[in-house]
Structure formats: structure tokens, C-alpha cells
Structure 1
């Protein structure tokens, strides 16, 4: 399963790089400069460097970092099924000076049985965690399962490694609405694509960034 998911991630990355090159040439490199992303921005600059994203399902909101843009095409990078399902991808189109590509993926589901939400968590842990390591955060309205791992792109086995022994580059979470069975899956990846630039990463800072986005998820009143 992990090998399959990592292969899918590599294929996705190669495809996204093509979009990055085009966007960089066009000079459209922030959320407010992209017409597709702007369709989802409910309020600009709610915090420094962040806008307010509103789902087309009408079921949730969250912070959206200005340096990122949503991927509008091909269709597999955005999908929605009325108010029950939505998935989308966002990334930084600018070439980074550190050789790292930054992107995150969000998937919303509604009206699933509680045991299915638990199954979603188990699948996420299998695909993205190191030995099922994760932590929990409880708020008045949400329960957040989150964790980090290190994906070694030079490992022929494509294995995930201990984030306590390596600088984590893969950050994941499942955000549950405690008042319903709605959930949001979140995966933030920081993939080294130019090793000659060093790919230096402050894993703690990136984890903090991922948690900020996860904590910002607010489900609408039903």
C-alpha cells in the first residue's frame, strides 16, 4: 500500500511540476492572482499571509496560505459531489531556493458512519505514518489526529522513516467534526526535487504550519 501511494505521489509531482513551470512563466504566483483559487476565497487577509477558504460544499472553512494556489486542471486535482465530497490540491508555484516543492491535499467527506471515519484514519496512518505514530488534539468542535514522517526519495523501497531520527517531510491529519460524521483529510508534503540546492528543511516549522491549517478547519452548522 505504501509503495502504491508513494508511486502515485511521484506521478502527481511530475504532473504538477509541469503546471508550476507554466505558472511561473505567467507570473501568477499567489492565491489572489489566480482566478480559480479566488473562487474559494471568502475573505482576504484574515491573518498575516492567510485568507479564508470556503468549500463549494458549504460544509467547512479553513485558512488558505497566500503563497499557495489551487490546481484547477486536469480534473483529478479538484473534484466535488454536491455536499458530500470534495477534494483539492494546492501548491507553491514559485521555484524555491532550497530545492523543495511544497504542496498540500485536502479531502472532505460527509455523512459517513463513525466506523468508516475510523477506517479512514487507519488508511491514512498506513499510507503516511511511521509505525502508526500519531497524536490527538481535542477542541470544542473538532478532534484532530495528526502526525509526521520522513519519506526518503532515495530509498528504493520507498519506505517511511522515523521523524524523530530524520527531518520530517510528510505531515498528515484527519479532522473530525465532533457533532457529526463529517471529516477532512489533510496531507502536506515537502518534496526535495533539486538536491543540489541542499533541500534544507525546518521540520518543526513545517509541522507547525501544517497544524495551523488543520486547526483552522471549521465545520458549518447543519
Structure 2
């Protein structure tokens, strides 16, 4: 498949997210200090700098980094439909960010039929450079993951090769091996103050995104 242009609506959402984070958050804002975020914390400090996040659907858990917080408003940042769908956005922006706004978007789905192939195609179509991705298999889940470089060229955003351009989008689809449950994670780094350098530790950020993806645990809802 050939290179495609990323969906602009997603880019606008992340840009808006970065702007709100930069204006409303500071280095003192952590997961446990924010009342909305704390509603989702099932266990504190399960790892250094990480808490255990539990979905309001009761269908999955994952690590949640302490320096981030959930955004409750507007509705684009958090939504839930019964126990089969949930999406949310976590953000951070502080004085030590080197001009970067950090944002990750998580979407959970429990479909009546297996739509993993369709979701993978959509993820690659919208976020991957030349459909590049890798796979991690285990007895419980499969993780499809990759990275890419997003640049604005005029009014459009285009995807470039992360091997030659600094990656700023890290994406993953986690599929449960025993059900039709999936979790999509998109981790974005937006340069909001270019005069501060906007340096990205690509390998470190990729490892951070993979840590979140690997931590996803699907639950058996009774």
C-alpha cells in the first residue's frame, strides 16, 4: 500500500489537546492531584512513576504515568458507551518539556465480531509511513505498533519516514486473543514552542509508548 495523508481531524484534536494542556497545566499537576484522573486510579504507585488505571467499562486495565492527567471536558476528550466503548485523552505540558506538549489518546472497543483487521488497516492508513509496523505476540494479546513523523505542509498534514525524520507519533493496536476487545493508543508529541528546541528522545519516547501498550490487561467482565 502506498503512503497516505493522515486524517486531519485527529491532528486538529491533538493540536487542541496540546494547546489546552500548555495553558492549563504545570509541573505540579499529577494524576493523583487531579480529581477526575484519580477516579480511574485503581492502585497507586504500582511502578516507579506509574499508577494502575482501570477503565470505567470494567473491561481493561493499564499503567498510567503520574505526570499525566485525564481531560474531562469537552466531550471529545472523554466518552463512554455502556461497557463496550470508551475513549480518553491524557496530557502533560510543563516548564521542563523543552517546548513540547505530550498527549496520548486511548480508545477501547468490544465488538460483536472480530474487526481487528479493519482496525489495523485504518490505523496504518491514518498514521503509518508506508504501512510500516511491528508485531508482538503473546498467549493473551497481540500488539501492532509503529512510529511516524508528522509534518504540516500548508493546510495538510503528511506522514514521513521516521528513520530519516524525527518521529513524533507512536501508535499501537492491542488485540485480545480470547475476545473481540481492542485498545488503540496514539502517543503524540507536539512542538508548541520551537524556540525552546523541541528536542525529542525518539527511542525513549517509543519505549514509553510501548510500555503503556504492553501494560494493557483485558478483564473478564461478569
Question: What TM-score do you get using the length of structure 1 for normalisation?
Answer: 0.92
Moved over 4 A (4+): 1-4
Instruction: Write the distance in 2 (CA, Å) between the matches of 1:180 and 1:11.
Output: 30
Identify if the C-alpha distance between structure 1 residues 16 and 97 changes in structure 2 by more than 3 Å, giving closer, same or farther. Answer: closer
Instruction: Write the distance in 2 (CA, Å) between the matches of 1:106 and 1:188.
Output: 9
**Which residue number in structure 1 is paired with residue 50 of structure 2?**
50
User: Which structure: greater helix fraction?
Assistant: 1
**Which residue number in structure 2 is paired with residue 159 of structure 1?**
158
Instruction: Write the distance in 2 (CA, Å) between the matches of 1:7 and 1:180.
Output: 30
Instruction: Write the distance in 2 (CA, Å) between the matches of 1:134 and 1:94.
Output: 31
1:137, CA displacement in angstroms?
0.1
Identify if the C-alpha distance between structure 1 residues 95 and 113 changes in structure 2 by more than 3 Å, giving closer, same or farther. Answer: farther
**Which residue number in structure 2 is paired with residue 22 of structure 1?**
24
**Which residue number in structure 2 is paired with residue 168 of structure 1?**
167
Instruction: Write the distance in 1 (CA, Å) between the matches of 2:218 and 2:25.
Output: 32
**Which residue number in structure 2 is paired with residue 107 of structure 1?**
107
**Which residue number in structure 2 is paired with residue 78 of structure 1?**
78
1:138 is the counterpart of 2:137? yes
How many residues in Structure 1 have an aligned counterpart in Structure 2?
A: 218
Instruction: Write the distance in 1 (CA, Å) between the matches of 2:118 and 2:62.
Output: 24
Identify if the C-alpha distance between structure 1 residues 7 and 196 changes in structure 2 by more than 3 Å, giving closer, same or farther. Answer: farther
Instruction: Write the distance in 1 (CA, Å) between the matches of 2:63 and 2:74.
Output: 24
Aligned Cα root-mean-square deviation (Å): 1.9
Instruction: Write the distance in 2 (CA, Å) between the matches of 1:36 and 1:146.
Output: 29
**Which residue number in structure 1 is paired with residue 146 of structure 2?**
147
**Which residue number in structure 2 is paired with residue 68 of structure 1?**
68
Identify if the C-alpha distance between structure 1 residues 196 and 161 changes in structure 2 by more than 3 Å, giving closer, same or farther. Answer: same
1:111, CA displacement in angstroms?
2.7
- Aligned residue for 1:179, secondary structure, equals coil
> 8 Å contact 1:77–1:87 — kept in the other structure?
yes
User: Which structure: greater strand fraction?
Assistant: 2
**Which residue number in structure 2 is paired with residue 5 of structure 1?**
7
Identify if the C-alpha distance between structure 1 residues 19 and 190 changes in structure 2 by more than 3 Å, giving closer, same or farther. Answer: closer
> 8 Å contact 2:44–2:50 — kept in the other structure?
yes
- Higher-RCO chain (CA-CA 8 Å, sequence separation at least 6): 2
- Aligned residue for 2:175, secondary structure, equals strand
Instruction: Write the distance in 2 (CA, Å) between the matches of 1:135 and 1:82.
Output: 32
Instruction: Write the distance in 1 (CA, Å) between the matches of 2:189 and 2:4.
Output: 17
Identify if the C-alpha distance between structure 1 residues 33 and 170 changes in structure 2 by more than 3 Å, giving closer, same or farther. Answer: same
Unaligned runs of at least 5 residues, structure 2: none
1:2, CA displacement in angstroms?
6.0
